[in-house]
């Protein structure tokens, strides 16, 4: 079962508008709020269909669970107004290499983030329009990380840390912030507890409703993440990454440290400029290219001091006990998940092919 089954069983209407990445489709019984015209235009939410859905829920006095799923900010970064972000005025992240193509691409990326912000605004406006803002929990989540180096397709903080904003009048303190560790798998249990919906007892995630309501300042001691590149377009033959993040430190285990990491990013014109600067003797460019494509077996970062994960402190003797704890936590999590490391990586294509056979013609 999935979230839509739980919601409909409790008398809610379950719906989604916009991008999906789900399989097998027979498991997901939500209403897909997309007109044929909207589908032909892409994967962004169909706000006209969302408007009609909310109106119908109000008319029938029905509770609802609704996912509004944007494609943005996803390459090719062609939405929004880049003129608001002049390339020559931008402050680049410290793990970027400063080139004209990089600045131009980053400008378009920032413009698309602003476009996404506008989509959030449209969703909130519809809740206002239908008188639903006062008693609707709204959770806004950002993507898993940009397609620039050291983010998406990696387990560095920029790749697996997402922004989350929650609005729930009368329950969540406006303007409040938290640095508690929360995982994506905790979102649905939180929704279900807030809506008083029963869930199966064997979920990996757990509700952080108490955190939202201010009853506690902590949620989890560790958060786990992984990246599997085998079978991805333009990806390496295999490049598995596993990671655990504690309150202050992130430990990364690279399963194929001898391989050269390649993907969509390393094919871009602006990344070619990174290589050119590196070949011309630019030390920063050479360092970033090497770090991105050639990684050691293990990495350790103080993400409080080093949020961009630039200083690998694996050799710090004062962190011996912390490193042992993180290694132990990651190994226990992998065992619990049935993750056999490199063997699991090598089987990734088999899982993709099996899914394709069972769901012919499925597109996400």
Nearest of 37, 158, 171 to residue 95 by alpha carbon: 158
Q: Is 69 within 8 Å of 20 (Cβ atoms)? A: yes
Which positions ≥6 away from 347 have C-beta within 8 Å? none
Helix axis angle for 269-279 and 100-129, nearest 10°, is 150
- Residue 102 to residue 105: CA distance in whole angstroms: 5
> Six-digit token pair at 226?
């992984």
Residue ranges of the chain with pLDDT lower than 50?
Answer: 362-364
Instruction: State the pLDDT at residue 348.
Output: 84
Q: What is the DSSP string of 177-194?
A: ----B--GGGHHHHHHHH
Instruction: State the pLDDT at residue 362.
Output: 46
Nearest of 18, 15, 16, 19 to residue 63 by alpha carbon: 15
End-to-end CA distance of the chain: 20
Instruction: State the pLDDT at residue 28.
Output: 83
Nearest of 6, 280, 18, 9 to residue 123 by alpha carbon: 18
Instruction: State the pLDDT at residue 360.
Output: 55
> Six-digit token pair at 305?
């001091």
What is the per-residue burial (b if ≥16 Cβ within 10 Å, else e) of 84-97?
A: ebebeebeeeebbb
Q: Please, what is the Cα angle at 296 between 292 and 297, to 5 degrees?
A: 130
Q: Which H helix or E strand runs over 328? A: helix 320-336
Q: Which H helix or E strand runs over 299? A: strand 298-302
Instruction: State the pLDDT at residue 11.
Output: 93
What's the whole-model pTM score? 0.92
Q: What is the DSSP string of 115-162?
A: HHHHHHHHHHHHHHHTT-GGG--EEEE--S--SSTTBTBS-SHHHH--
Nearest of 296, 252, 200, 233 to residue 5 by alpha carbon: 200
Instruction: State the pLDDT at residue 1.
Output: 59
């Amino acid at each position: 079962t999935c979230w839509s089954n739980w919601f409909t069983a409790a008398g809610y209407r379950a719906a989604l508008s916009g991008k999906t990445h789900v399989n097998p489709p027979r498991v997901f019984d939500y209403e897909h709020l997309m007109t044929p015209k909207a589908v032909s235009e892409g994967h962004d939410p169909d706000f006209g269909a969302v408007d009609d859905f909310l109106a119908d829920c109000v008319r029938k006095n029905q509770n609802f669970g609704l996912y509004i799923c944007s494609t943005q900010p996803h390459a090719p970064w062609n939405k929004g107004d880049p003129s608001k972000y002049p390339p020559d005025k931008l402050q680049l992240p410290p793990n970027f290499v400063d080139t004209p193509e990089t600045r131009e691409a980053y400008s378009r990326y920032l413009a698309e983030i602003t476009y996404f912000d506008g989509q959030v605004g449209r969703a909130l406006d519809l809740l206002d329009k239908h008188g639903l803002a006062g008693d609707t929990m709204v959770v806004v989540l950002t993507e898993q990380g940009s397609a620039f180096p050291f983010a998406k397709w990696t387990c560095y903080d920029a790749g697996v840390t997402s922004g989350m904003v929650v609005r729930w009048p009368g329950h969540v303190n406006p303007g409040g912030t938290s640095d508690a560790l929360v995982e994506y798998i905790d979102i649905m249990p939180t929704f279900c507890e807030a809506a008083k919906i029963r869930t199966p007892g064997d979920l990996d995630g757990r509700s952080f409703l108490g955190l939202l309501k201010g009853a506690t300042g902590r949620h989890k001691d560790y958060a786990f993440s992984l990246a599997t590149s085998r079978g991805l377009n333009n990806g390496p033959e295999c490049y598995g990454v596993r990671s655990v993040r504690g309150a202050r430190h992130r430990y990364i285990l690279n399963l194929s440290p001898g391989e050269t990491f390649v993907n969509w990013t390393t094919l871009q014109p602006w990344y070619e400029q990174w290589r050119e600067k590196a070949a011309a003797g630019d030390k920063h460019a050479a360092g970033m290219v090497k770090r991105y494509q050639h990684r050691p077996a293990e990495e350790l970062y103080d993400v409080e001091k080093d949020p961009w994960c630039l200083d690998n402190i694996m050799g710090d003797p004062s962190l011996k006990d912390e490193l042992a704890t993180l290694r132990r936590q990651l190994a226990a999590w992998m065992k619990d998940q049935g993750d056999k490391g490199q063997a699991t990586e090598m089987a990734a294509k088999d899982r993709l092919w099996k899914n394709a056979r069972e769901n012919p013609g499925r597109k996400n």
